[in-house]
Chains A and B, each alone.
Chain A
Amino acid sequence: MIKQQLAQFISLPYMARLCARITPYLFFVMLSVIAIGLAWGLYFAPSDYQQGDAFRIIYVHVPSAFLSLMVYSCMAISAALFLIWRIKIADEIARASAPVGALFTFLALVTGSIWGKPMWGTWWIWDARLTSELILLFLFFGYMALRDALPQKIGALASSYLAVIGMINIPIIHFSVIWWNTLHQGPTLSRLSLPTMDSRMLYPLLLMILGFMLYYLLILCLQLQTAMRRS
């Protein structure tokens, strides 16, 4: 009974119907959260005593970087579920996650570079954090390229293996600033310790991360409905 209900819940038609229902709400909530987060972060949050107003790049850089890791983790977990139990919807989630994950990684690299120029004096350096994030971008590109280069079934399997193996890069990115002596600063938000930011700067950052998560969810909802209609 439970197995049957679970099977119905994770079926593509059921999820597509659920997505159709929540998409408009998701869109307006996402828009409001990002608008409030941006206004708060760019205007109301105080300037940093060392970096001045340049620190405000954090409100787009950190959410992009956070989401790049989160989306890759979701993609790898979905790929693993597809490989183990052949759940079709897990494969669709992995497929829909790759381009949006690549976009977040690209944005994290570009906004980081724009922040690096005034603070470090250079757009780019082969630092452990930056290099491992660039490898993540190539992993997303590799996933998409492998999937499209091979016939449908083999492409889905091969790219899923790549996503699962590439998961090894996620802890490397996260801990790179601790394991190696890098130019990039240490973690601002960590589960194991208190944030190293003042709450007036932290809350808009958390709002922006939430807004970017809602954006990812919105993209997934639209992609799942598109996949359902095409299948």
Chain B
Amino acid sequence: MLGNSILLAFREIRRNVLRSFLTILGIVIGVAAVIIMVTIGGGATVQVSQQISSLGSNLLMVTPGKRLGPGQSSDTVPFKMSDAEAIARDVRSIAAVAPVSSRSLQAVSGNENWSTNVTGTDNSYFKVTNRSVRSGRTFSESELRSGAAVCILGDTVRRKLFGNQDPMGEKIRLEKLSCKVIGVLESKGQSTMGQDQDDIVVIPLRTLQRRVTGSQNIGLIQVSVREGASTEGVQQEIGQLMRERRHLAPDEDDNFNVMDMKEITKMLTGTTQMLTALLSAVAAVSLLVGGIGIMNIMLVSVTERTHEIGIRLAIGALEREVLMQFLVEAVVLSSFGGLLGIVLALAGSVWLAGLLHVPFVFNAGIVIVAFLFSAAVGVIFGYFPALKAARLDPIVALRHE
């Protein structure tokens, strides 16, 4: 009997190709949207994790204030150079400590200018962040100590300011500071937050403090833990040291934050996953709307086909056979819509992944779920119209033109 229903349903769909296509359009778009959202979201999550792990799992970030990112209170007590020195001196199992302070500035060279991130730090920065100088050199001891006007360019800044020319030994201007280019960094690409990590100019910390910001503050201390040592142990030791240095009473909360990469990873992937879930929910609504679309068209189709249903009933079709035919029709249509949506979604995801520079991660789970969901939509939204068709009185239905 199911075989017959499928046969009849296929003949019916073939009879009305255009109507069938319009019926499933909603499902196609809904399924495609859900799968694309989840696939791209998954790719972004994977990318975030990959990039963070490429930074090294032994990296600790010490920031003033209670939390990383926005929402820091204004009365945050900033770090000083002495804090970084204290960490390097007093905490065991540390490979390198880099004090970092940045400013967004306009970099100018000749007629070219480019707004970029100017980071003041010392040579430990390259070790801690896994960066190296592609050409030229890092800072010398005396340059660091005296706050010399020298800089190392990120690849993006080099390209924007100098194009194909060799920047080495040239002067660039950062606000009032004119400094000499002594090196270019190895390119690193986009960061987890979608920032261009090559859009950077590195200068000695002291240069930044004295000639740009005019303050002794440090925004961030990056610490890399020695290979094989416990990150958590170091985290605790730094916490202890900072509490002492900031004279916090035992009942006071930390007014700084020591985060390891695991926490940052968790936080960032958590954000990505939440966004993915949110977008998927929106897409799921469109799938639901697609289902209602199917119900609409099936209901119209029952009315339109009343006469035909009358013929079938008069010939000896049972109520349940008409029910089955319409139900199977709805399920076949919506499943076909699901399949079409999956194909569309995979093509779309590959294309979008390329466009957004996100790895394409095939998620079999969501494809299966989306397909089953589209079939279920057929059953749920096809049932009511099917029942309506099956309950028709053959005499009345035959008279209906």
Specify whether A and B are partners.
no
